[in-house]
């Protein structure tokens, strides 16, 4: 049986690599230009997420280890994220904006849902490449949730809705689709934490044998170094 | 430890040979400070000697600097392109790789990559050497051309640029190849012995003689070894026919690693028979033609093996009494002095003489790296350059002593004027005549120094001269450049006229004694590699003093009389059940390792009850208390190393090195997570929230965590998951793999012994239906860590989600379809070594193992036969034997699946090679390492977890398509890349969707805290095990 992916997923996947390659600083710069059109509370949330991302993931971390090799730890986006809210309050919208900016700055293309999603998309779309953020009608949300190539769903909902959504996601085959749920739409206790961002990234280690070319001149210098 | 000074007593070398032999190995990783204190008195000059030596060195350097030809072209090149410059490294890289690239497309891209990123202009006209300037201008111009290709405005800055811009890429390629050939020409005396003898005549007229070195890499295959043997034979014949009338005839230097594909300790039996026969044949020929043979020194791991072989050859009737069969000893080795003493005693016992070339040593950087990687307790080499110089002079004093000279003919190889002066002074002091020793230097280096020496004395100076094609020069060239290209090297300073002579003539003893410590503080010992935790220890199985006693301890657990008895452990108690299973050894099903009772459903429930009840107390303990438990666990594992290794052998079928790596990884997990917990869980973190308010948050445990681990890393992954869950404050119910529960049982016992309370941690051995299902369906489970197949991870995830409770974290590490991309700039020998290890080590039963090797078609016909040859050298066998490379697969089910795949691929693909199985293979579950050539990765449906490699050819221009294909498989665990083109590496790195990318190395063996490990997509959820974000996922971040 041929599974037809929703067109939005395909579009998002096509742009994923280029968006992810921009690195966190580059994405944050793009997204910062979109902040002005958001109401203050949403803007503060979005700005905070961008700043947090720049602080947490913009730099490649050099891991300690033996001489003659270089080990780098960095992050990449996971893939296409659906960002949605089952709760329609002002605070929930602040949370939704936080989700969208976090997912985006982490390197993922994002699909939002419904009129609220449309407003967020409209504010961001002019500043990012086409397809990095898309919006679908609420009626299309289910087909996206069912899509095999969806990397994750970030959702504001209550506990029961989270359970139900989780059951739908795990029923799919393919990669394990991440559910990043916020069930506290009043204080946004999950979204507004520094480690929230890590749910949207995947880590990548690059190990380079630096002695394959050019030997280990640095070490040789150490062998002759004065104390 | 023996008293070094005693070697100066004439009767020292009259001791029994075996007694002297026993002094060698224990010095392998001896405490450097202690040993140097022993050596210093041998090297320390008297005031008179010091004055004499300093004056002699000063005069020599002054005279050399005054000579018109003081700087050879190579010297000049090294001076300008010091290895501390970017351009120096790039130049070396070009020299190393360009000439072996067969296709123009890749060569052009490589040149562009190398030349466009360096500042060649800054080197133009800096040197007086025409050669250097010509090279620089060549590089500069081609660099400009390449750079300008990148410019988009099409407005070159000046006329020269416009002119060179017209030069096409083939012209640049040709020019660069020519430049590299010119460089090669400076380092190689000739492409054949005939040419070398002819080119060497002018030096011989000056009084020099030669030792010829046939260039080449170590043999990977039997046919490589045959090729090198033929080449040495021809060299011997050519030198034998040499009619130049000279007192000191040229000799041949041989590398044993070129003459046997498995010249290593694990294959000692083959070395002492097959390699012995080859070398003996060569020596018989050499003796008949009176051409001396010298065995070159190689890596420290091979020293003791090389001495065994030397002794057997030396004592052979055909060689006995010859006097021209010698070897090389490296002074940077802590074992050098006792080796020399043993050699002198050996020669004395036999009543003849051994020529011994004393060098400082050329593999220093790789020895240091290797020991750090392996967690050896110390280094086999000195960490300060002046310590090597001290050792050199200590050895020299012994070699020049009257009682030694009769049995050893010392050949001092050095380019350091001070060393030469010191040796000369020592010889005078000890009464050695110039007939009783000689000096040696490298072709192309130290010309001025030795021209002066040879002019002023009648001492023999031998030039060590590489012979061979320019293509084979490259690894040699890199070694030489590294030795002498660094700014700090004597060669570099000698030719740098601005460097004061007085600074070049410090006696190494004076320099060393002026240091605060004899050990170099900049180079930490391997066990102290990390600032914030202790590195795990690993014995070196290649070294007798390290391995023999360790093995003896393992052997106490290897007999059938040792049987482990394991049970579910709940609440700290062993709970016997009626469901008892016998554990058979995968390599021999008639052998058992023990018995284990599997848990029943009631036991599972009881464990969860207790774990739930224990959570509040455990989670509120200080994080440092929990971390202390892990540190104690790490220590306990190291204390019980031999038993755990025996379990790895007998229960999991792991080879010796795999078993060491297994224990080390488990130890590292404990120490790393302990350190991480202390850093991130001990105190609340403060942050400013999005409203600008300061907040405090604390990471705490979630509750009862389920840990489900696989059989392929039965101790490391099992312990890693459990340790991570525990240290953040969770209680744990752990289900090990059915196949490897005995070692898990011991791990849990040790964790309890380390202080983890019995009601906090429970072991539930059993199958998925009885134990796995209730462990994932219980509503109280607050999170789960799993390593295994993608399908099982999905099932577990569904079971957890259908419990009707809030979603919980699932940390899953799953499968892969791991590839390696190899382009034509790569070094084939390195590719083959890394591909074979990545595909077949651990019988391919590593998550990271290589499954699909993509070879650029231009080199495929060269590399595939090398893979075939290397696979034929793989030894499949009993995992506890040092000679075994590949052990069994885990069980019958795995074996059947793999054999079916081999059968399928035999029809669908083209068989490249299949290693031989041992005669006893049917006693266990062995699968022969097998390689197939296939047309596309699409021919593979899922991962085959065993020793099966698939090879796909690709066109250079299709690289992006290949990356797309790999990405489209959905798996994203490991990817290997072999390329000297950094632009290519960077491109692959940025495009490939994999968790762990390895460049110019093998792709297995990730190290905790150094190379955090885990995949993406179908290969896992993350975060990475052994990484800085792993523990957070086991925890909740709570506002305070």
The pLDDT tens digits for B430-455 are 999 999 999 999 887 788 889 989 98
The pLDDT tens digits for B9-62 are 999 999 999 999 999 999 999 999 999 999 999 999 999 999 999 999 999 888
Among A130-139, B199-208, B742-751, where is mean pLDDT lowest? B199-208
Which of B847, B933, B943, B985 does the annotation list as catalytic? B847
Q: What is the ipTM of this complex?
A: 0.96
pLDDT, position B147: 45
pLDDT, position B263: 97
Q: List the single residue in A with minimal CA-CA distance to B1038.
A: A189
Of A176, A189, A211, the CB nearest to B365: A211
Asked if A71 contacts B1011 with a C-beta cutoff of 8 angstroms, the reply is yes
Say if B374 is an interface residue toward chain A (CB within 8 Å): no
Question: How many residues can be counted in chain B?
Answer: 1040
pLDDT, position B157: 37
Query: Is residue B90 predicted with pLDDT exceeding 90?
Result: no
Q: Which fold has domain B819-1019?
A: Aldehyde Dehydrogenase; Chain A, domain 2 (3.40.309)
Inter-chain CB proximity A63 and B1009 less than 8 Å: yes
Q: List the single residue in B with minimal CA-CA distance to A94.
A: B690
pLDDT, position A226: 77
pLDDT, position B484: 58
- A226 vs B931 pLDDT, higher one: B931
Query: Is residue B153 predicted with pLDDT exceeding 60?
Result: no
Inter-chain CB proximity B1000 and A208 less than 8 Å: yes
Residues 502-531 of chain B whose Cβ lies under 8 A from any Cβ of chain A: 515-517, 520-523, 529-531
Tally of domains in chain A: 1
Q: How far is A43 from chain B, CA to nearest CA, in Å?
A: 9
pLDDT, position A177: 95
Which residues of chain A does B692 touch, with a Cβ-Cβ cutoff of 8 Å?
44
| pLDDT tier at B1024, thresholds 50, 70, 90 | very high
| pLDDT tier at B162, thresholds 50, 70, 90 | very low
Query: Is residue B169 predicted with pLDDT exceeding 80?
Result: no
Bridge partners (DSSP) listed for residue B763: B569, B734
Listed in sequence order, the residues at least 6 apart from A84 whose beta carbon sits closer than 8 Å to its beta carbon are: A96, A112, A113, A114, A117, A141, A153, A154, A155, A156
Q: Reduce the DSSP state of residue A87 to 3 states and report it.
A: coil
Inter-chain CB proximity A176 and B1014 less than 8 Å: no
Inter-chain CB proximity A214 and B83 less than 8 Å: yes
What percentage of chain B has pLDDT greater than the value 90? 79
The pLDDT tens digits for A202-213 are 999 999 998 876
Q: List the single residue in B with minimal CA-CA distance to A178.
A: B1021
Average pLDDT score over residue span B217-225:
92
Residue to test with chain B: of A213, A216, A219, most B Cβ within 10 A:
A213
Residue A142 burial (C-beta neighbours within 10 Å; 0-12, 13-18, 19+): exposed
Inter-chain CB proximity B812 and A216 less than 8 Å: no
Residues 801-820 of chain B whose Cβ lies under 8 A from any Cβ of chain A: 801-802, 804-807, 810, 812
Average pLDDT score over residue span B502-518:
94
Please give the order of strands across the beta sheet that includes A178-182.
A133-136, A110-113, A80-85, A150-156, A178-182
Q: A22: closest CA among A131, A122, A129?
A: A129
Residues 126-155 of chain A whose Cβ lies under 8 A from any Cβ of chain B: none
Query: Is residue B143 predicted with pLDDT exceeding 50?
Result: no
Q: Identify whether A133 is part of a domain.
A: yes
| pLDDT tier at B485, thresholds 50, 70, 90 | low
B847 a catalytic residue: yes
Q: B353: closest CA among B326, B385, B318?
A: B326
DSSP B99: G
Query: Is residue B156 predicted with pLDDT exceeding 70?
Result: no
The pLDDT tens digits for B183-194 are 677 778 888 899
Inter-chain CB proximity A175 and B383 less than 8 Å: no
Of A65, A211, A223, the CB nearest to B1007: A65
Q: Which two tokens stand for residue B924?
A: 């266990």
Query: Is residue B599 predicted with pLDDT exceeding 70?
Result: yes
Residues 823-842 of chain B whose Cβ lies under 8 A from any Cβ of chain A: 827, 830
Asked if B807 contacts A166 with a C-beta cutoff of 8 angstroms, the reply is yes
Which residues of chain B does A174 touch, with a Cβ-Cβ cutoff of 8 Å?
970, 1018
Average pLDDT score over residue span B590-610:
97
Inter-chain CB proximity A213 and B92 less than 8 Å: yes
Q: How far is B716 from chain A, CA to nearest CA, in Å?
A: 19
Q: Reduce the DSSP state of residue B588 to 3 states and report it.
A: strand
CA dist A71 → A63, A65, B988, B1007 (Å): 5, 8, 16, 10
Inter-chain CB proximity B807 and A162 less than 8 Å: yes
Average pLDDT score over residue span B364-386:
95
What is the domain class of B563-578+597-636+667-683+699-814 according to CATH?
A: alpha beta
Inter-chain CB proximity B369 and A67 less than 8 Å: yes
* B4-70+188-514: CATH architecture: Alpha-Beta Barrel (3.20)
Average pLDDT score over residue span A212-223:
70
Round to whole Å and give the CA distance between B78 and B80: 5
Q: Is the peptide bond before B1023 cis (omega within 30 degrees of 0)?
A: yes
Inter-chain CB proximity A163 and B807 less than 8 Å: yes
Among B96-110, B145-159, B803-817, B931-945, where is mean pLDDT lowest? B145-159
Q: How far is B807 from chain A, CA to nearest CA, in Å?
A: 6
Mean of the per-residue pLDDT values of chain B: 91
pLDDT, position A144: 96
Residue B68 burial (C-beta neighbours within 10 Å; 0-12, 13-18, 19+): exposed
Mean of the per-residue pLDDT values of chain A: 93
Q: How far is B812 from chain A, CA to nearest CA, in Å?
A: 9
The pLDDT tens digits for B967-994 are 999 999 999 999 989 899 999 999 999 9
Query: Is residue B1036 predicted with pLDDT exceeding 70?
Result: yes
Q: List the single residue in A with minimal CA-CA distance to B830.
A: A212
Residues 54-113 of chain A whose Cβ lies under 8 A from any Cβ of chain B: 61, 63-69, 71, 73, 76, 78-79, 98
Say if B996 is an interface residue toward chain A (CB within 8 Å): yes
Q: Which two tokens stand for residue B42?
A: 């041998």
Give the CA count within 13 Å in the CB-facing half-sphere of B730.
Answer: 31
SS3 labels along B592-620:
EEEEEECCCHHHHHHHHHHHHHHHHHHHH
Average pLDDT score over residue span B936-958:
95
Average pLDDT score over residue span B139-159:
42
Inter-chain CB proximity A202 and B995 less than 8 Å: yes
B813 a catalytic residue: yes
Of A21, A176, A193, the CB nearest to B797: A176
| pLDDT tier at B348, thresholds 50, 70, 90 | very high
Asked if B83 contacts B89 with a C-beta cutoff of 8 angstroms, the reply is yes
| Cα torsion A13, A18, A20, A21: sign | positive
How many A/B residue pairs have CB atoms within 8 Å?
Answer: 225
Residue A184: give its domain's CATH number. Answer: 3.40.605.10
User: CB atoms < 10 A from the CB of B446, how many?
Assistant: 29
Q: Reduce the DSSP state of residue B439 to 3 states and report it.
A: strand
Range of the domain at A103: 7-57+73-207
Which residues of chain B does A99 touch, with a Cβ-Cβ cutoff of 8 Å?
none
Query: Is residue A214 predicted with pLDDT exceeding 80?
Result: no
To the nearest 10 degrees (0 to 180), the angle between helices B716-727 and B656-680 is: 10
Which of B268, B643, B813, B829 does the annotation list as catalytic? B813
Say if B125 is an interface residue toward chain A (CB within 8 Å): no
Could you write out the DSSP letters of every residue in B113-149? HHHTTS-GGGGTTTSS-HHHHHHHHHHHHHHHHHHHH
To the nearest 10 degrees (0 to 180), the angle between helices A114-124 and A90-105 is: 50
Among A148-157, B403-412, B498-507, B969-978, where is mean pLDDT lowest? B498-507
| pLDDT tier at B144, thresholds 50, 70, 90 | very low
Which residues of chain B does A216 touch, with a Cβ-Cβ cutoff of 8 Å?
365-366, 368-369, 482
pLDDT, position B212: 95
Query: Is residue B667 predicted with pLDDT exceeding 90?
Result: yes
Q: List the single residue in A with minimal CA-CA distance to B831.
A: A212
Query: Is residue B155 predicted with pLDDT exceeding 50?
Result: no
- B633 vs B114 pLDDT, higher one: B633
The pLDDT tens digits for A89-127 are 999 999 999 999 999 999 999 999 999 999 999 999 999
Query: Is residue B127 predicted with pLDDT exceeding 90?
Result: no
Round to whole Å and give the CA distance between A47 and A54: 11
Bridge partners (DSSP) listed for residue B761: B732
Q: Give the residue extent of every domain in chain B.
A: 4-70+188-514, 73-185, 563-578+597-636+667-683+699-814, 819-1019
Q: Identify whether A66 is part of a domain.
A: no
pLDDT, position B154: 38
Of A193, A213, A215, the CB nearest to B365: A215
Average pLDDT score over residue span B150-164:
38
Of B384, B991, B1023, the CB nearest to A203: B1023
Q: Reduce the DSSP state of residue B1037 to 3 states and report it.
A: strand
Query: Is residue B539 predicted with pLDDT exceeding 60?
Result: yes
To the nearest 10 degrees (0 to 180), the angle between helices B385-400 and B336-350 is: 20
Q: How far is B548 from chain A, CA to nearest CA, in Å?
A: 26
Asked if B495 contacts B242 with a C-beta cutoff of 8 angstroms, the reply is no
């Amino acid at each position: 049986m041929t599974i037809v992916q929703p067109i939005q997923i395909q579009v998002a996947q096509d742009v994923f690599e280029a968006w992810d390659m921009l690195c966190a600083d580059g994405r944050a710069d793009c997204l910062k230009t979109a902040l002005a059109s958001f109401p203050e509370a949403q803007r503060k949330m979005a700005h905070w997420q961008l700043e947090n991302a720049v602080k947490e993931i913009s730099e490649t971390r050099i891991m300690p280890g033996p001489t003659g090799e270089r080990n780098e730890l960095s992050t990449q986006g996971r893939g296409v994220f659906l960002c949605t809210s089952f709760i329609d309050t002002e605070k929930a919208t602040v949370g939704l904006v936080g989700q969208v900016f976090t997912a985006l700055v982490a390197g993922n293309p994002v699909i939002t849902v419904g009129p609220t999603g449309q407003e967020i998309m409209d504010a961001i779309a002019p500043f990012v490449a086409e397809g990095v953020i898309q919006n679908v009608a609420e009626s299309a949300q289910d087909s996206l949730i069912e899509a095999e190539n969806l990397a994750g769903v970030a959702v504001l909902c209550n506990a029961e809705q989270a359970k139900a959504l989780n059951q739908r996601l795990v029923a799919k085959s393919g990669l394990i689709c991440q559910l990043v749920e916020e069930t506290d739409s009043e204080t946004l206790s999950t979204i507004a934490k520094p480690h929230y961002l890590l749910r949207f990234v995947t880590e990548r280690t690059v190990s380079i044998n630096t002695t394959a070319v050019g030997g280990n001149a640095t070490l040789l210098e150490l062998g002759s170094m004065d104390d | 430890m023996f008293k070094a000074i005693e070697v100066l007593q004439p009767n020292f070398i009259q001791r029994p040979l075996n007694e002297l032999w026993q002094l060698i190995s224990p010095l392998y990783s001896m405490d450097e400070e202690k040993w140097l204190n022993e050596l210093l008195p041998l090297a320390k000059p008297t005031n008179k000697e010091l004055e004499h030596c300093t004056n002699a060195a000063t005069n020599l350097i002054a005279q050399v600097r005054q000579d018109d030809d003081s700087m050879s072209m190579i010297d000049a090149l090294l001076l300008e392109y010091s290895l501390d410059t970017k351009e120096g490294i790039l130049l070396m890289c070009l020299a190393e790789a360009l000439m072996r690239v067969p296709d123009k497309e890749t060569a052009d891209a490589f040149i562009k990559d190398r030349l466009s990123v360096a500042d060649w202009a800054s080197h133009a006209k800096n040197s007086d050497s025409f050669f250097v300037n010509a090279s620089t201008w060549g590089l500069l111009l081609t660099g400009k051309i390449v750079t300008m290709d990148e410019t988009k405005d099409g407005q070159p800055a000046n006329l020269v640029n416009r002119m060179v811009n017209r030069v096409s890429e083939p012209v640049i390629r040709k020019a660069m190849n020519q430049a590299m050939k010119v460089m090669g020409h400076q380092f190689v005396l000739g492409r054949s012995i005939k040419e070398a003898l002819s080119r060497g005549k002018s030096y011989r007229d000056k009084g020099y003689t030669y030792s010829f070195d046939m260039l080449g890499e170590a043999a990977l295959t039997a046919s490589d070894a045959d090729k090198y043997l033929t080449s040495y034979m021809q060299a011997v014949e050519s030198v034998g026919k040499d009619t130049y009338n000279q007192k000191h005839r040229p000799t041949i230097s041989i590398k044993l690693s070129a003459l046997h594909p498995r010249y290593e300790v694990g294959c000692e039996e083959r070395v002492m028979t097959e390699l012995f026969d080859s070398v003996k044949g060569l020596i018989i020929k050499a003796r008949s033609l009176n051409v001396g043979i010298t065995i070159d020194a190689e890596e420290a791991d091979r020293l003791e093996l090389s001495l065994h072989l030397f002794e057997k050859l030396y004592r052979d009737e055909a060689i006995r009494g010859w006097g021209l069969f010698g070897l090389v000893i490296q002074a940077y080795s802590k074992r050098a002095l006792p080796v020399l003493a043993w050699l002198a005693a050996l020669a004395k016992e036999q009543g003849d003489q051994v020529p011994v070339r004393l060098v400082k040593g050329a593999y220093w950087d790789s020895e240091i790296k290797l020991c750090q990687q392996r967690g050896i307790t110390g280094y086999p080499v000195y960490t300060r350059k002046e310590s090597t110089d001290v050792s050199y002079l200590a050895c020299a004093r012994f070699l020049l002593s009257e009682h030694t000279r009769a049995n050893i003919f010392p050949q001092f190889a050095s380019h350091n004027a001070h060393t030469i002066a010191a040796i000369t002074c020592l010889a005078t002091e000890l009464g050695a005549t110039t007939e009783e020793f000689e000096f040696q230097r490298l072709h192309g280096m130290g010309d001025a120094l030795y021209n002066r020496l040879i002019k002023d004395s009648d001492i023999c100076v031998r030039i060590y001269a590489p012979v061979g094609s320019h293509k084979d020069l490259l690894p040699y060239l890199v070694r030489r450049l590294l030795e002498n290209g660094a700014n700090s090297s004597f060669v570099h300073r000698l030719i740098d006229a601005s460097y004061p002579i007085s600074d070049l003539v410090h006696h190494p003893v004076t320099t060393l004694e002026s240091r605060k410590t004899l050990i170099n503080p900049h180079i930490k010992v391997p066990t102290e590699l990390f600032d914030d935790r202790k590195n795990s220890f690993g014995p070196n199985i290649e070294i007798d003093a390290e391995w023999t006693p360790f093995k003896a301890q393992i052997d106490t657990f290897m007999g059938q009389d040792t049987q482990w008895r394991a049970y579910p452990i709940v609440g700290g108690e062993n709970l016997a059940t009626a469901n008892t299973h016998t554990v058979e050894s995968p390599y021999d099903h008639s052998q058992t390792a023990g018995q284990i009772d599997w848990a029943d459903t009631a036991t599972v429930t009881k464990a969860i009850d207790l774990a739930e009840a224990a959570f509040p107390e455990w989670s509120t303990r200080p994080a440092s208390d929990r971390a202390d438990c892990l540190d104690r666990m790490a220590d306990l594992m190291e204390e019980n190393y031999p038993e755990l290794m025996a379990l790895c052998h007998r229960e999991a079928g792991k080879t010796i090195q795999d078993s060491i790596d297994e224990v080390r990884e488990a130890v590292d997990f404990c120490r790393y997570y302990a350190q991480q917990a202390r850093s991130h869980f001990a105190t609340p973190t403060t942050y400013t929230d999005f409203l600008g308010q300061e907040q405090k948050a604390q990471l705490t445990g979630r509750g009862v965590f389920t840990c489900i681990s696989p059989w392929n890393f039965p101790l490391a992954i099992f312990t890693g998951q459990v340790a991570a869950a525990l240290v953040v404050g969770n209680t744990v119910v752990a289900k090990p793999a059915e196949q490897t529960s005995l070692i898990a049982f011991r791990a849990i016992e040790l964790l309890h012994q380390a202080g983890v309370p019995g009601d906090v941690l429970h072991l539930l051995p059993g199958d998925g239906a009885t134990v796995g299902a209730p462990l994932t369906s219980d509503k109280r489970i607050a999170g789960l860590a799993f390593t295994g197949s993608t399908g099982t991870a999905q099932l577990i995830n569904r079971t957890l989600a259908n419990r009707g409770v809030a979603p919980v974290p699932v940390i899953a590490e799953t499968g892969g379809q791991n590839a390696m991309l190899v382009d034509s700039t790569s070094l084939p020998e390195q590719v083959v070594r890394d591909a074979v290890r990545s595909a077949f080590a651990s019988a391919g039963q590593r998550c990271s193992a290589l499954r699909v090797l993509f070879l650029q078609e231009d080199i495929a016909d060269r590399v595939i036969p090398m893979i075939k040859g290397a696979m034929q050298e793989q030894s499949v066998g009993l995992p506890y034997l040092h000679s075994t490379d590949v052990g069994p697969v885990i069980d019958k089910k795995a074996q059947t699946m793999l054999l079916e795949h081999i059968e399928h691929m035999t029809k669908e693909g083209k068989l490249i090679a299949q290693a031989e199985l041992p005669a006893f293979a049917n006693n266990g579950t062995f699968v022969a390492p097998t390689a197939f050539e296939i047309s596309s990765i699409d021919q593979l449906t899922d991962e085959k977890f065993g020793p099966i490699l698939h090879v796909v050819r690709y066109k250079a221009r299709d690289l992006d398509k290949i990356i797309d294909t790999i990405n489209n498989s959905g798996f994203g665990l490991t990817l290997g890349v072999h390329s000297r083109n950094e632009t290519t590496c960077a491109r692959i790195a940025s495009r490939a969707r994999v968790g762990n990318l390895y460049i110019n190395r093998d792709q297995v063996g990730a190290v905790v805290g150094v190379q955090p490990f885990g995949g993406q997509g179908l290969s896992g959820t993350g975060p990475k095990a052994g990484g800085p974000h792993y523990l957070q996922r086991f925890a909740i971040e709570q506002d305070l």
